[in-house]
Copies of this chain bind each other. A is one copy, B any other.
């Protein structure tokens, strides 16, 4: 009971497999981008237009991370609900930058699986092997290489205060 509400609710598709990182604190964090597409009819041309918005989702809730790890993949549709947080970081040129994320943590976060694009893996499937280290590593490598494509975001990395998703793995 705080007198405030800070909530984002999204239904969209994952742009890539969730990336899971181990923090120095022993916690894990999962992160992924989520696409929401709005479409409308252009007033003049009457053409159908569409625009995709990309959101960064960060999950600190260990229960949800387990679900993401086992059942959620690139392209899947999910509903997520969390808090909006804007994080400050410093880019390689030393400029302060800000990134806004939807953060799911504790009881503030919710995630509902809404199906795979191909109808498979609707959550009823067997969990993916927990020993998919190769995939994990590959994902992280690719993500680092692709960093500029997700908004020029390159976290400074390093000390504990800096334990942020979407960046280099600290373990």
* Interface size range on A against B: 35 or more
A22 partner residues in chain B, CB cutoff 8 A: none
Interface residues of A (CB under 8 A from B): 1-12, 36-39, 53-55, 63-64, 67, 77, 79, 83-86, 91, 93, 95-100, 107, 110-115, 118-120, 122-123, 151-153
A153 partner residues in chain B, CB cutoff 8 A: 98
Closest-by-CB residue of B relative to A114 is B114
A55 partner residues in chain B, CB cutoff 8 A: 6, 84, 86
A36 nearest CB across to chain B (Å): 4
A83 nearest CB across to chain B (Å): 7
**CA A63 to CA B1, docked complex, whole Å:** 9
Q: Is the CB of B7 within 8 A of A8?
A: yes
Q: Is the CB of B11 within 8 A of A79?
A: yes
Q: Which of B4, B36, B39, B122 contacts A6 (CB 8 A)?
A: B36
